[in-house]
Structure 1
Amino acid sequence: MEIVVVIAVLAALVFLVHANLTEKTARRVLPVLLIAFALRLVVHLTLERGAAIGYGGDNVWYELKAIDIAEQWRREGVHGGLTPGDSGSLSAVGVACQVFAFIVLICGGPAPLACTAVVALIACMLCVVMYRFALLVGADDRGAFKLLVVTAFMPGFLLHTSDTYKDGFNAFLVVASLGIGVSLVRRFDLFRLLLLGPMLWLLWYVRPYMVFMCVLPLLVGVTGLKRMLSLRTLFLATAGLTAMLFVSGAVLNSAPAESMLAQLDQGQSAGARRSNSGSGSGVVFEDGGDPWSALGGKLLYTLFSPFPWTDGSTSLQLGKIDSLIWYVVLVYAVSGARLVWRRRPSTLLILLLFIVPGTIAYATTMANIGLIFRQRMPIVMAVSLLAAVAWTRRPRDTGPSARPGRPETTGGRPSPVPRT
């Protein structure tokens, strides 16, 4: 039954690619994604479950949690939605665990290959989202396709979407949500706005703190900053939204905000950072116990580690390949950011409002290269969107004169959010 599920997931990939891209683009994109899909299954069988690199741990925990949930569903019937209200081993379920539980229920027992196929499907669809998002930001078909290929085979992303990790779910929901924010700047659409609610709700049950990292850029998009093109106006609008979110007592005293602050306090606590720095890839900073001290060094590690000279495990050495690709992407992103700023500053602002605060927040919890290597994945993808603009031979006009609702290239539709 597990093989049947894998085949069904593969068929779903073919359908979704054709449903979300033009026929011409789908013919070029599909072979790339089929290779990316198959490669993830191979990595799963040889490296992840073959113990060739000795990496992971939480992926197995998610699978065991899914088996527990499936057993409960067999006894009581499928129920409960995504709200964790059970006791014992089911007290902290989430989107990934329940998706895996559904696969386990279908297969009648543990099904790591089938679960990995679902994760691989999400990874491939994220590549489609990145392609369409890049078109929206201002890249042409060539730049967007190059970004799709880089995303599909980025070693870190490949590794963490080749088993039952939840990083693929997280990256997909974050990037798609930001894509909606940028599309709302270009043209307000009630359906896309309403779609944000379920997506952020799902994201809450994947990585709750990521919801708060997305809130400010999304608010900028929803408020329609496409008419606010001056630097002064953009700055004042952002400052006003920030004050409304983080100074308002009503917001800070709300249950979601308290949950966010609790998560931040936990990640910044001396105990958590000491525990994270205890492994082979741990890093200790001379900050006197203050998570906001030595911020420069922490930002350096957050953005650029593992460095070429860093010693560590086999997986850490493989991570250096990812870092080298990331360095190249970052150089192109700087060039792309200049182009986007000239043509569509509000789009750049939305991306920066996610990239900058998110990087700083991660830096305050920095204590382990392997952990931060995974956490920064959505930030890497947001930055790489700007690189796609630099890879464009002739940047597309995404300004007010562009005709909304029609693709300026034959590469795809303007909305970055796939229809499923």
Structure 2
Amino acid sequence: MEYLVVVAAVVVLVFLVHANLERGVARRALPVLLAAFAVRMAVHVLVMRSGVIEYGGDNLGYEIRAMQIVEYWKSNGFQFVTSEDISTLSFVAVPCQVFAIIVYLCGGPAPLACTAVVALLACALCIVMYKFARLVGADDRASFLLLVVTAFMPAFLLHTSDTYKDGFNAFLVVTSIGLGTSIARRFDMRRLLMLVPLLWALWYVRPYMVFMCAVPLILGLMGLKKVFSLRGLFVSTVLLVSALLVFGGVYESTPVEVIQQQLEMGQAENVRSANGDGGSGVVFEDGGNPWSTLDAKLLYTVLSPFPWTQGGQMLQLGKIDVLIWYFLLYHAVRGARRLWCHDRVALLVLLSFVIPGTIVYATTMANMGLIFRQRIPIVMVTSVFAAVAWTKNPGDREQPVAEVVSRV
């Protein structure tokens, strides 16, 4: 049954490519994405589960939680299980629920099948990145290059080659920001409604990311220079707040309290100390204040691991990813300058996610290996700027990413 799930994932991938990309683009993108899917499955078998490297642990924890959900279903019937039902599901209910469905279908542990779903999500995100870049003014050549770079970015590839939640988080965040950018350019109630299930799912993956995605959307709507912008802002705010109040019921606290608790937990001195254990740990002389020495923390958050850094095997592999990131970051600055001249609303939406997100992550900075993984959504959104810089024909835009979401 596991192999049938893998085959089904490939079939869905082929459908997504042809349904969301023009014929010529689909013809070029399909081999790339099939290769990206195959590489992830190979890395899963030959690297992640072979013992070649010692990395991870939370991926195995998600599989255990998925098995617990299946047992809960057998006793209480099929339903969406939250932390009120199984306490260990806090902040990871959606990924574990997806894995539980696969485990249930396969009749037992199914890491290969679960990874196939994660790999499919990663490839779907590559399509979203292409559409996102086209939306903000990148031409076909630049957008396709971004698709290829995204598909094989080492950090993203590694964390979508097993049962991690990073692929879920990246897909939901980038798609939400893409839809928000589209709405900021032209208000569309259908796209706004599509944001509700995306943000709902994101709430059960990383709750604080819901707020980080909601802010760019609201700011983008405020930047609209149309008569109905205030109406759009009001409607979107009501919907987003309602979604948080309704779907935030998984936790005993209010949504704002949940975010505050997450932030305080990540900034706690004992947590940062624990995260700093190992070869890639970093200690800052901040006197226990997470907001102190913020300049040094930002430097590490954005640019580490540095080429000269000593550390373990995974840290050395991370240097390949960070060199690609340096390249993207350089071109992202050029792309941001171009957007400043041609599309300040899109620039506002993207920066209102990238800058606050980077600062918040900097206050929890304690481990270069961990931040290398956490900043994946920030790297993705920033990379859209790079595609704008690579563009030879600015203004050759394509319509929004909403079609991808509706078919995933």
**TM over 0.5, shorter chain:** yes
Report deviation, 1:88.
Answer: 5.4
Residue identity opposite 2:57 in structure 1 = G
2:217 aligned partner: 218
Q: Secondary structure at the match of 1:291?
A: coil
Mark the CA change 1:417 to 1:337 in structure 2 (over 3 Å): closer, same or farther: farther
1:250 aligned partner: none
Report deviation, 1:416.
Answer: 5.2
Cα distance in 1, alignment partners of residues 356 and 402 from structure 2: 23
Structure 2 unaligned regions, length at least 5: 227-232, 242-252
Report deviation, 1:186.
Answer: 1.4
Cα distance in 1, alignment partners of residues 82 and 356 from structure 2: 28
1:305 aligned partner: 304
1:76 aligned partner: 76
Deviations 1:255-281 (A, max 9, x none): 111111111111111111111112221
Counterparts in 2 of 1:149-188, with a 5 A limit?
149-188=148-187
Residue identity opposite 1:163 in structure 2 = D
Q: 1:414 aligns with which of 389, 400, 403?
A: 400
CA contact (8 A) 2:91 2:204 kept: no
1:27 aligned partner: 27
Q: Secondary structure at the match of 1:361?
A: helix
Residue identity opposite 1:72 in structure 2 = Y
Cα distance in 2, alignment partners of residues 163 and 119 from structure 1: 7
Q: Secondary structure at the match of 2:105?
A: helix
CA contact (8 A) 2:91 2:206 kept: no
2:225 aligned partner: 227
Mark the CA change 1:331 to 1:9 in structure 2 (over 3 Å): closer, same or farther: same
Counterparts in 2 of 1:6-21, with a 5 A limit?
6-21=6-21
Q: Does 1:377 align with 2:376?
A: yes
Cα distance in 2, alignment partners of residues 18 and 290 from structure 1: 51
Report deviation, 1:198.
Answer: 1.1
Deviations 1:368-400 (A, max 9, x none): 1111111100000111000001111121266xx
Mark the CA change 1:370 to 1:392 in structure 2 (over 3 Å): closer, same or farther: same
Mark the CA change 1:135 to 1:92 in structure 2 (over 3 Å): closer, same or farther: closer
Q: Does 1:54 align with 2:54?
A: yes
Cα distance in 2, alignment partners of residues 227 and 337 from structure 1: 21
Residue identity opposite 2:133 in structure 1 = A
Deviations 1:89-129 (A, max 9, x none): 55665110000000000000000000000000000000000
Counterparts in 2 of 1:232-251, with a 5 A limit?
none
1:403 aligned partner: none
Cα distance in 1, alignment partners of residues 374 and 146 from structure 2: 20
Q: TM-score, normalised by structure 2?
A: 0.91
Cα distance in 1, alignment partners of residues 63 and 35 from structure 2: 25
Residue identity opposite 1:174 in structure 2 = V
CA contact (8 A) 2:129 2:147 kept: yes
CA contact (8 A) 1:173 1:203 kept: yes
Cα distance in 2, alignment partners of residues 93 and 360 from structure 1: 23
Mark the CA change 1:91 to 1:363 in structure 2 (over 3 Å): closer, same or farther: closer
1:249 aligned partner: none
Residue identity opposite 2:125 in structure 1 = L
Cα distance in 1, alignment partners of residues 48 and 164 from structure 2: 11
Residue identity opposite 1:362 in structure 2 = Y
Cα distance in 1, alignment partners of residues 88 and 184 from structure 2: 43
Cα distance in 1, alignment partners of residues 91 and 402 from structure 2: 31
1:114 aligned partner: 113
1:361 aligned partner: 360
CA contact (8 A) 1:130 1:148 kept: yes
Q: Taking every aligned residue pair, what percent have the same amino acid on both sides?
A: 61
Aligned length: 383
CA contact (8 A) 1:68 1:90 kept: no
Cα distance in 1, alignment partners of residues 299 and 36 from structure 2: 31
Residue identity opposite 1:100 in structure 2 = F
Report deviation, 1:185.
Answer: 1.5
CA contact (8 A) 1:62 1:164 kept: yes
Report deviation, 1:75.
Answer: 3.3
Residue identity opposite 2:114 in structure 1 = C
CA contact (8 A) 1:213 1:358 kept: yes
Mark the CA change 1:90 to 1:132 in structure 2 (over 3 Å): closer, same or farther: closer
Mark the CA change 1:26 to 1:52 in structure 2 (over 3 Å): closer, same or farther: same
Deviations 1:205-258 (A, max 9, x none): 0011111111210112334x2329xxxxxxxx9xxx9xxx9xxxxxxxx81111
Residue identity opposite 1:8 in structure 2 = A
Q: TM-score, normalised by structure 1?
A: 0.88
Structure 1 unaligned regions, length at least 5: 229-236, 246-253, 399-406, 408-412
Cα distance in 2, alignment partners of residues 416 and 87 from structure 1: 34
The root-mean-square deviation of aligned C-alpha atoms, in Å, is 1.8
